[in-house]
Structure 1
Amino acid sequence: MAADHIDAPAVSGGTSDITDYYAFQGENTSNIAFVANVQGLLSPGNTAAASFDENVMIEFNIDTSGDNVEDLVIQAVPRDGKMYVFGPVAPSQTGLNSTIMTNTNNLVVVDITPYGQSAIVESSGGIMAFAGPRDDPFFMDFAQYGEIIAGNATSFNDPGSDTFAGTNVLSLVVEVPKSMIGGSGTINTWVETKRKQ
């Protein structure tokens, strides 16, 4: 059920495979950015044909109370070359199943940026969104990792060899004002991909 560059057998090589997730303070320090990357290991030759799966929702989960249950969600659904981003909004249910929260005033619709083009970013109500292919930002010397696991090496090389260099992902970036998240303390956050049932 978890994923990281084709590590989860149930989604390996599929359109719902999460490669990485990042959350960090925005360039505007009053904002927080959430980034989900899916469909990793895309070669440049295959990236132009790759697309977000219209049957897969990407859901950012935000726990503001410290109980490891989502209090807010940001949901993103692709349709006809656009990404529809809903939230942050309180979910109608928590856990592994979700209903798309279309009854929110927080909606951003952004054209999915084609491969090789400058980022298309849209904003509405202080929320900004981007969706499209990008170079995989993850760095991993997978061959050396294998040597360490096998007991043939004790550490990584400096510099290492980036196994993911030259590969791409489909990336979703949503930046929201911290005031929409509520509170001023620590949050817990995670991302899920959920296939339409």
Structure 2
Amino acid sequence: MKNTKFLIATAVLGIMTFVAIAADHIDAPATQSESTSDITDFYAFEGESTSNIAFVANLQGLLGSGNDTQNAAFDENVMIEFNIDTSGDNVEDLVIQAIARDGKMYVFGPTAPSQTGLNSTIATTSTNQLVVDITPYGQSAIVESSGGMMAFAGPRDDPFFMDFGQYGQIIGGNATSFNNPGMDTFAGSNVMSVVVEVPKSMIGSSGTINTWVESKRKQ
């Protein structure tokens, strides 16, 4: 039954086209009124297994603790796309796509995209697919694995550290450097996080890769 639901969902998802929106802690003009597509941070690093690489996208920054985060949800009209360039031309050769549906996060890829650039179609025909329940706020992380891939989706503490008070003092000419330690402006705030870990063998490159993330809204 679980597999049947997955196939039905992917058949519906496949006809959608998405357009990229840039973001960074709600300061990009395109996301001022659409904070559910706002990307706060992107991380790519070697997994606990040195044979894996993890990709992390955080969205919807500045969620407070309690009800603010508890009521937050992934936007079902927004797709998160991890782009991977293996040839050094700054054009994506592979993508990993993630989109929420009915309390679950569907992950497709790594796979070659049907088109590059700002527009995307969900790669429902990808050999690599995974679905994971979105972890509710305050609960232990729900992680699913399939074919060597692992995925998580849900609220997490914002890992970004920035002392905006001191930054304002520096910009205003009242200070020349940050304090050590500084005051973390993001302490106690949360983000909606998507984590996908894949074997390096799926990337098809043992050398350097270029990688970036986009949020793309359905058109």
TM-score norm. by structure 2 comes to 0.88
Report the secondary structure of 1:32's partner residue.
strand
AA in 1 matched with 2:196: V
- Which residue number in structure 1 is paired with residue 180 of structure 2? 158
- Tell me the distance in 2 between the aligned counterparts of 1:4 and 1:77: 19
Instruction: Give 1:2 shift.
Output: 3.1
Cα RMSD between the aligned structures? 0.8
- Which residue number in structure 2 is paired with residue 108 of structure 1? 130
AA in 2 matched with 1:6: I
- Tell me the distance in 2 between the aligned counterparts of 1:58 and 1:3: 12
- Tell me the distance in 2 between the aligned counterparts of 1:2 and 1:145: 23
Aligned length, in residue pairs: 197
Instruction: Give 1:57 shift.
Output: 0.1
Aligned mate of 1:185, from 207, 210, 219: 207
Q: Percent identity?
A: 82
- Which residue number in structure 2 is paired with residue 35 of structure 1? 56
Structure 2 residue 161 is matched with structure 1 residue 133:
no
Aligned mate of 2:139, from 100, 117, 127: 117
> CA offsets, 1:53-75, max 9 Å, x none?
00000000000000000000000
Aligned mate of 2:112, from 90, 96, 99: 90
Segments of structure 1 that go 5 or more residues without pairing to the other structure are none
AA in 1 matched with 2:42: Y
- Tell me the distance in 1 between the aligned counterparts of 2:170 and 2:50: 39
Moved more, 3-12 or 35-44: 3-12
Segments of structure 2 that go 5 or more residues without pairing to the other structure are 1-20
- Which residue number in structure 2 is paired with residue 170 of structure 1? 192
Report the secondary structure of 1:10's partner residue.
helix
Instruction: Give 1:148 shift.
Output: 1.2
Structure 1 runs (4+) greater than 6 angstroms displaced: none
- Which residue number in structure 2 is paired with residue 8 of structure 1? 28
CA contact (8 A) 2:83 2:212 kept: yes
TM-score norm. by structure 1 comes to 0.98
Higher helix share: 2
